[in-house]
Structures are given as C-alpha cells and as structure tokens.
Amino acid sequence: MEGLIYWFHGLKVELTSAALVSMTSHRQARFFSKEAGGQMFAKLSADHWRIEVATGPRHGDKRGRFHFWPNRKAEQEEINRFYEQGLEFVGDWHTHPENIPRPSRQDVTSVQNIVRESVHHLP
C-alpha cells in the first residue's frame, strides 16, 4: 500500500504506508464489524509532518458498530511512550460503517475539545 500525501497550505502531511496499513486492517467490512480507532504519531518539522504510527484499537476500548470510546489511560501512555521516541501525537482516527464516511456531530465536538484541551506548540 502506497503512502498518502496531503498539502495544507505550505504544510506537507504524509501518511506512511505503515500507518495506513494499521488503519485499513480495521476496516468495517462486515455488517457486524465494530468501530476501531486509535491515535496517530508523527515526526514533525516546520513544513513536513510524517505520520509514522497509527495505534489501536486497544484492550479496554469500548467498541460497537456505531461507537468507539477509547481507553483514555492507555492513550496517555501511548503519548508518553512515543514522545520518548521523538514522535508527537497529532490526532485520533476511527472507522465508520459507511462507504463514504462523514464525521458525526460528536466527532466534530470531540476534535474541538482535543484541540482546546491540548497543550502543544503545533500549528
């Protein structure tokens, strides 16, 4: 699987093949498949974010066909562990049981809360 590259103004955001494989291996391909999700960690420079790791799902996450509630303690442990390896937490991911996924209202609120509550120096 090829990696993907997105441009946000002058910022290049690269999803590596390894991270994509981790996420796509949890696609909800069957009617009974549960939502899966995790966190993304990247090597950062001023004009290039390279997302190298996509974690999850983890033991202790609560998963259903239409919901995913992560284990917050496990998330913080991941953030600490990858930070020591030079990788910064840059966001969450989760699956949807839709061919063309659209963020739910709860998804949007949740992302806004993460940005508001995070202490970081990222653009």
Which residue in 33, 88, 107, 110 binds Zn ion (CB under 5 A)?
107
Q: Select the span of 18-26, 75-83, 98-106, 109-117 touching Zn ion (CB under 5 A).
A: 98-106
Q: Which is nearer to Zn ion, 85 or 113 (CB)?
A: 113
Q: Select the span of 17-25, 77-85, 97-105, 113-121 touching Zn ion (CB under 5 A).
A: 97-105
Q: Which of 69, 70, 65, 68 is nearest to 97 (CA)?
A: 65
Q: Which is nearer to Zn ion, 45 or 112 (CB)?
A: 112
Q: Select the span of 17-25, 47-55, 85-93, 107-115 touching Zn ion (CB under 5 A).
A: 107-115
Q: In whole angstroms, how close is the CB of 7 to Zn ion at the nearest point?
A: 24
Residue listed under structure tokens 């992560």: 70
**String of DSSP letters for the chain:** ---EEEEETTEEEEE-HHHHHHHHTT---STTPPP-EEEEEEEEETTEEEEEEE----TT-EE-SS-EE--HHHHHHHHHHHHHTT-EEEEEEE--SSSS----HHHHHHHHHHHHH------
Nearest residue by C-beta to Zn ion?
107
Number of residues forming the site for Zn ion (CB under 5 A)? 2
Q: In whole angstroms, how close is the CB of 46 to Zn ion at the nearest point?
A: 31
Q: Footprint of Zn ion on this chain (CB under 5 A)?
A: 104, 107
